[in-house]
Structure formats: C-alpha cells, structure tokens
Structure 1
Amino acid sequence: MAIIGLDIGGTKILGAVFNDQGQIMDKEKQPSKADDGFERFMQQVYHVIDELINRSDESIQGIGIGFPGTIDQNGHVIFAPNLPVEQFDLAGHLADRYHTKVLVGNDVNLGTYGEYCELDIPYKNVIGLFPGTGLGGGIVINGELYIGQGSAGELGHIVVRKNGVKCSCGNKGCLESYASKKGILAYIKKEMKKGRKTVLKKEAKAGVVKSSQLRKAVEDGDVLTIEAIDQFKAYLGMGVGIIMNIFNPDLVIIGGGIVENFGKELMKDIRKHAKAYTLPGIYENTKLRHSKLGDDTVIYGGYHLIKSAMSTN
C-alpha cells in the first residue's frame, strides 16, 4: 500500500510516495506553470501524480493534497490568490481521474498537521505559524486538525494594529502585513521613499526577495534590512503571544524559509517578544520551536491526512 502526498504551490508542485511506515520512497517536483492558465496548471498536477504512480511498485491507496487557498470541507477550492483555480471541486475531479481517495486541505493547515504527526512527543494541542511571502497558520486540537467550516487557521489575519498597513485580504493592520516577506519589503520600500539606502533596492522594487538574501543583507550590516527584520520578529512574537493566550497550546511550531535561514537567534528573539504579550503561566507552559520537516511539511501532512481518514473508515 502506498499514499501520495502533494504540495501544490504558486510556483512549484512537490509530490512524494509514502510506504506503510510513513517513509518517503520517491519524489517528483515540477513548476506549477500557474501563469499559463488553468489547463496548463492542471496538466502539471497530472504530470507529478502520473510520474509517482508509474514509478511506484505498489498501488496508490490515496492522495492527500495541500493547496494554497480557501478550501471547504469537501475539498472544493473556493479561492486561490496565486493560482488560476476558483470554485473548483479539486478533490472530486482527481478522485474520478485516479479512482482513489483524494483529500484536499489548505497547505499550511496540512503543514502544521504534518509537523504534529511527526513529533517525538505526543502533544495534543499544537499551533503552526509559517511566515513566508504571507503568513499562514494551522491548528491541531486534541490531536485532530481543526479546520472549522474548511478555512480555519488564517492566523495571519489577526489584526495587530488599528488602521495599519493595508493587507492583501483588504483589511488593515493584519499580522501578515508585518510578520512576512511582504511586510519586510513594505518597510524597506517605505524607508527608501525617505531617501534611505539598502542593498535590497532591486528586490524591494520587484516585490520579491529570497530568505537567503535577507540573511546576507543582515550579515553585511544593511541597516534598513536589520530594522525590517527586527520589526518582523517583534510582530511575529506579538502574534505568537496572542495565539498562546487564545489557545493555551502545548506547542507552537514556527516554520518557513525566514526561520530556517536565521535559525536559533531569530527564535530566541521571537520567544522574548512572545513573553511580553502572554499571560503569566501560559508562556511558561508552552513550548516554542521551529519546524523539523522543512520543505516536506505539506507532503507529510497530505500523507497523514489520508492515513488518518483510512484508519477511521
């Protein structure tokens, strides 16, 4: 028996075949070709799945998919800001095509679930926060992924500043507007308009920057980038503190490229800021650590989503 875990993103599609023991036996990665429209994008999805099925020695028992957008409880894509898909029954379509069980969830929800299922310690209540271009979140309560009516976990859209920076969601002052690459670049661009200099001038104007470029700019002493990262850490820490107060979880996991590139020192500062916003007794009893699965968080989540569904049937 084998299960496919699929991570569909705005720029790439990553898939893996897992065996009975939850070990990755094979991987396939392709560009999503999202800019070429719906049909071309779906051909890329098929290609990744087809390659994994054709190379597998075992029959595929299910496909678990993480998708970057609003997903309802039935695996219908309601809205995807970075992909040419809207109001589409992705789970049903792929189930008909491959004649197997298909489950679809928000990518960061599944990333959190993947991290949770691979924990060495059996915590019951876990929150995941994954700052990247935006800021996604996931919630595990009593050992189960909590999705509400399908779209729970949008922790990046907690408002942390009244009449603050306008967010891509339409609100102002969302946590994502400060604790993300978008927030970092927005700060740099704002300061550049005042005449300040930065080595990331080109990236700021383009609106795209790699986490490794941010790290190098800080190491090179770029004052503007250092300030932007300090703001990122302060707001992410605030968000962690607020979330700890709401959920009182056993563990908060923070992942994504920025965290991976800046490492322990960044986590230390996030802890410091989180403590300032957390009620006494809650902070001390909540573990906070970085993601262990890296780029594989979502495919592990897809695998465990199918495995869990099969065990309850």
Structure 2
Amino acid sequence: MGTMNLRVGVDLGATKIQTLLVASDGSIVARKRGTTPATGGPSAVLTRVQETIEQLLVRADQPATAVATIGIGAPGQIDAAAGVVLQAVNIAGWDQPVPVAGIVGDMFGVPVALANDVQASIVAEHRLGAGRGRTNLLGIFCGTGVGGGLILNGELWLGGGAAGEIGHTVVVQAGRQCGCGRNGCLEAYAGRRALEQTARLQYDAGRPTVLFDLMEQQGRTRLTSRVWLDACLQSDELASGLITEAARAVGTAAGSAANLLDIDCVVIGGGLATRLGDRFLGDVRAAAQPVLLRPETANQIVLSELGDDCGALGAALLAGDRLAGS
C-alpha cells in the first residue's frame, strides 16, 4: 500500500474509542479499540485517542507517514467547519468547546475532519451498509445516548450543523427528565445511560431484577448492552419492560420523522440496538406502523449492517471526501 494512501477513522464514544485504518476504496485494513477515560476531561481523552491510533498503526505494521488524513466522529454538538466539539454531555468534562481537529491534527501532522458520530455512521451505512441504493435515510443510533443522522436526496444533510438530532425529539410530553435538562426526550427512554438510571431507581424502590447481579458477574460497573440482552433472555420483567418501552419510543420517533421527510429507509444502530438485534427491531417496527402514513413501509426500518465499525468507517470516508475536495 502506497505512502499517504490510508485514512484513520475514529469513533469517539462515552465509553469506548473505536479506530479503523481504511484504504481509499473503503476497505478496512485494521481495527483497534480503546476505552474512553472517565476522568481527566478532554486532555485525557484525546491523549487516549492518540495512543489508540498509534496502536492501530503498529497492529497494521504501517508508519504514521502512510496516513493521509484522520476522521473523527464525536457525540454531541459539533462545528464541523471549525473542527470543534461544542458540547458533548455524555463524555465527562466535555461541557465546553474543544478544538478536537486542531489538537489531533497537531499530534499527527495531517488534516483532520470532525463530524457528529451518527452523521458519520449514516454516511457509512448509505455507501457501504444497510442504506446502499437508498436516497433518503434516517439513522437512529442507541448507545450511551441516542443520536441521529440524515441523508436527503443522496447527500448528508447538516442543516445548521445539528440536523438529525432525533435523540432530543420529545416522545412523551412531561416525561422522564433527559440529560439535556428537558423532559420526555427519546434519549431519556432509549439511551443506555438513561435506561440504567431508570432501572436503578426502580431496583432501589424494591422492584426485583437480575440486571445488577449480571453486571457484577460480568465484572462490569455499568449496565452494558450485553447485560441488558442477558437479562432479557432470562425474561427479567424490569429489563424486558424497559427495553420494550425504549423500542416503542424509537419506533414512534422513526415513524414521525419518516412522515415528515419522506424517508425511504430508517437504519437502527448503536451498541444497544445492535446487541439486542431482531428482538429490538421487531418492537420498533410494531410501534412505528400505526404512526406511519404508509404502514406497510415499517419493514423499511432495518438494523445497521456495519455494527461497531459504522462510526469510525463513516468518519474515515468523510475525511477522504474532505481531502479530495481540498
């Protein structure tokens, strides 16, 4: 592979940092995952990003000089043109603007493109995944929070920069409080962090559940997607009820958005949705069907095909686009 022919894609999440080394044709050369530091703020997180990229290059047996550009998908509010994460409430300490592209660019001496993580993900699904051949797509990705991204008329739609932020669409009037401070947001029902908070409140109030026993047995300090799946497989009433409620909230939001924008495909992804798979998808479709103007299109709500690679792959693709257009 020729020098300066590779792109690095980074999916910066609240709990993990997924990196990919990607060829110019979109094929994946290597993968490396790191953990997102829970303390230390932006400095600690971006140092971990640097370390994870360096480990990725070692794994691929490639020098840093083989990298032409880096793309980073980050959660929260993004100023893509300036390369700044304005706010990322799901990452500890990221409550002020952080010039991510400039900092990481200085680390590696290459141009860095920054995008919202779900906007990056829907680009990857559109070109290489579940949205291939579609013109108008909505991505809803359920992880620590809930994010969204839009492809309209075949192009990533940014609006003023935050288009597709479906996680803060209100699905329940005067509902649960969201991390954003408002009530009834989709994220308050379908984000992993909010689900854990709700489960903890109900457990502390005396409702039985295996969730926290499974968490300890698996050596975890939080309710991971695997913990939720295992609890549901054990027919745990609390876990199953909350996951069904989450899927219904996603379906309601997806159906309403599809009506508004004439969406021909909704891609459901993120760690929680991907792990729960067809069980989650079925409940999403069932909730969307009575909302949709064309109920028969509920089967156009599909699961992500790219899984954990989605955000980092999309970030690498967007970085390649930026490089080609520069």
- 1:297 to 2:297 alignment: no
> Structure 2: any 5+ residue segments left out of the alignment?
none
Q: Which amino acid aligns with 1:56?
A: Q
1:255-274 mapped onto 2 (5 Å cutoff): 255-274=269-288
Partner of 1:14 in structure 2?
Answer: 18
Instruction: Sort the Cα spacing of 1:257 and 1:180 in 2 relative to 1 into closer, same or farther, 3 A.
Output: same
- 1:56 to 2:62 alignment: yes
> Structure 1: any 5+ residue segments left out of the alignment?
none
1:255 Cα deviation from its structure 2 partner = 0.8
1:187 Cα deviation from its structure 2 partner = 4.2
Q: Which amino acid aligns with 2:17?
A: I
Equivalent residue for 2:104, pick from 84, 94, 98: 94
Query: Residue 4 of structure 1 contacts residue 17 of structure 1 at CA under 8 Å; is this kept in 2?
Result: yes
Partner of 2:149 in structure 1?
Answer: 138
Equivalent residue for 2:250, pick from 236, 247, 256: 236
1:277 Cα deviation from its structure 2 partner = 0.9
1:112-261 mapped onto 2 (5 Å cutoff): 112-119=122-129, 121-192=132-203, 195-201=206-212, 208-261=222-275
**Distance in 2 between residues matched to 1:284 and 1:258, nearest whole Å:** 24
Query: Residue 72 of structure 1 contacts residue 149 of structure 1 at CA under 8 Å; is this kept in 2?
Result: no
**Distance in 2 between residues matched to 1:298 and 1:159, nearest whole Å:** 25
- Aligned to 1:195, the other structure's residue is in SS state coil
- TM-score normalised by L of structure 1: 0.89
- Aligned to 1:88, the other structure's residue is in SS state coil
Q: Deviations over 1:127-177 (max 9, x none)?
A: 100112221111111222222222222101001122111111011111111
Instruction: Sort the Cα spacing of 1:276 and 1:187 in 2 relative to 1 into closer, same or farther, 3 A.
Output: farther
Partner of 2:79 in structure 1?
Answer: 72
Equivalent residue for 2:46, pick from 23, 42, 57: 42
Query: Residue 129 of structure 2 contacts residue 304 of structure 2 at CA under 8 Å; is this kept in 1?
Result: no
Q: Deviations over 1:249-308 (max 9, x none)?
A: 121000123322322232122111101111137x53872110111110011101110222
Instruction: Sort the Cα spacing of 1:244 and 1:207 in 2 relative to 1 into closer, same or farther, 3 A.
Output: farther
Equivalent residue for 2:28, pick from 24, 28, 32: 24
Q: CA RMSD in A?
A: 2.6
Q: Which amino acid aligns with 1:33?
A: P
Instruction: Sort the Cα spacing of 1:203 and 1:166 in 2 relative to 1 into closer, same or farther, 3 A.
Output: farther
**Distance in 1 between residues matched to 2:35 and 2:294, nearest whole Å:** 47
Identity %: 31
Aligned length: 312
Query: Residue 214 of structure 2 contacts residue 227 of structure 2 at CA under 8 Å; is this kept in 1?
Result: no
1:73 Cα deviation from its structure 2 partner = 2.9
Query: Residue 182 of structure 1 contacts residue 207 of structure 1 at CA under 8 Å; is this kept in 2?
Result: no
- Aligned to 2:277, the other structure's residue is in SS state helix
- TM-score normalised by L of structure 2: 0.86
1:34 Cα deviation from its structure 2 partner = 4.2
Query: Residue 42 of structure 2 contacts residue 98 of structure 2 at CA under 8 Å; is this kept in 1?
Result: no
